[in-house]
Amino acid sequence: MTRIISPSILTADFGRLSDEIALVNRSEAQWVHCDVMDGVFVPNISFGFPVVQAVRALTDKKLDVHLMIVDPDRYIARFAEAGAGMLTVQAEACVHLHRTLQSIHEAGMQAGVALNPHTPLSSIEEVLDDIDMVLIMTVNPGFGGQQFIPQSYSKIRRLRQMIDARGLSTLIQVDGGVSTANADELYRAGVNVLVAGSAIFSSADPQQTIHQLLTAQAGE
Ligand code: DX5
Ligand code: ZN
């Protein structure tokens, strides 16, 4: 099964952003995860277009942009211009999710949908065929460095069954509290894409941590 590591730059040192991205460039991570927060959908404000554009100029890796903002439809074209490859919206922020997915595809990007811990899988059941990636939030969004919510495993397993039963290639991503301690169990539950912020950027050897996240095996 596909395994992808997407380091979240939320916990990177923004004063040394080019060094932090250079570190990701030298690593086995395939994507770069950019968390955009508006201070309304979540109780935090992170960064917007200038930072996403700056990251785009510093790497050839796919930009995996996670929007934690209200009314994301207003900014789809701007994120395409800024260089996003995967654009993930929060299901809770979309009144017309099907239309939003169409707009993301029309703008030339892949479409992801994130579900907060309390949001049931049934909220995406009718549009699953139109989604390239489902992001199961394993913390309440807004901050790096939070504790992984263990009930997420059952949700991931049920989503894996739903995707496989329909013969889809939709990726499953997890975000929040991911580390080398739970990577293997997450893969076994059916996850494809691990987002990790503090586990990578607070590590003494981020490249090695990325390698461990990618190659995690039972018993490690
Ligand atoms: C949380 C963000 C995450 C965050 C993860 O709202 O969406 O991407 O950076 O941070 P860690 O890996 O430290 O939990
Ligand atoms: Zn995120």
SS3 189: helix
Tens-digit pLDDT profile for residues 150-196: 999 999 999 999 999 999 999 999 999 999 999 999 999 999 999 99
> Mind listing the domains of the chain with CATH numbers?
4-214 (3.20.20.70)
The residue among 206, 208, 193 whose CA lies nearest residue 20 is 206
SS3 29: coil
Q: What burial letters (b/e) apply to 157-177, b meaning 16+ CB within 10 Å?
A: eebbebbeeeeeebbbbbbbb
Identify whether the C-beta of residue 195 lies closer than 8 Å to the C-beta of residue 171: no
Upper half-sphere CA count for residue 198 (Cβ side, 13 Å):
9
| C-alpha 37 – ligand 1 centre gap (Å) | 11
Mutate to test the pocket of ligand 1, among 65, 194, 198, 203 (most ligand atoms within 8 A of CB): 198
| C-alpha 165 – ligand 1 centre gap (Å) | 30
CA geometry: angle at 2 spanning 191 and 182, to 5°?
35
Spans in the chain with pLDDT lower than 50:
220
Q: What pLDDT is recorded for position 219?
A: 53
Total residue length of the chain: 220
Q: What pLDDT is recorded for position 218?
A: 64
Tokens of 194: 């691990």
The helix-helix angle for 206-215 and 17-26 (nearest 10°) equals 40
Catalytic pick among 35, 38, 64, 132 = 35
> β-pairing, 193-196 with 171-175?
parallel
Instruction: Tell me, using a 6 A CB cutoff, whether residue 142 lines ligand 1.
Output: yes
SS3 22: helix
CA-derived radius of gyration, the chain: 16
| C-alpha 15 – ligand 2 centre gap (Å) | 20
Instruction: Tell me, using a 6 A CB cutoff, whether residue 203 lines ligand 1.
Output: no
| C-alpha 160 – ligand 1 centre gap (Å) | 22
Instruction: Tell me, using a 6 A CB cutoff, whether residue 11 lines ligand 1.
Output: yes
- 175 is an active site residue: yes
pTM for the predicted model, two decimal places:
0.97
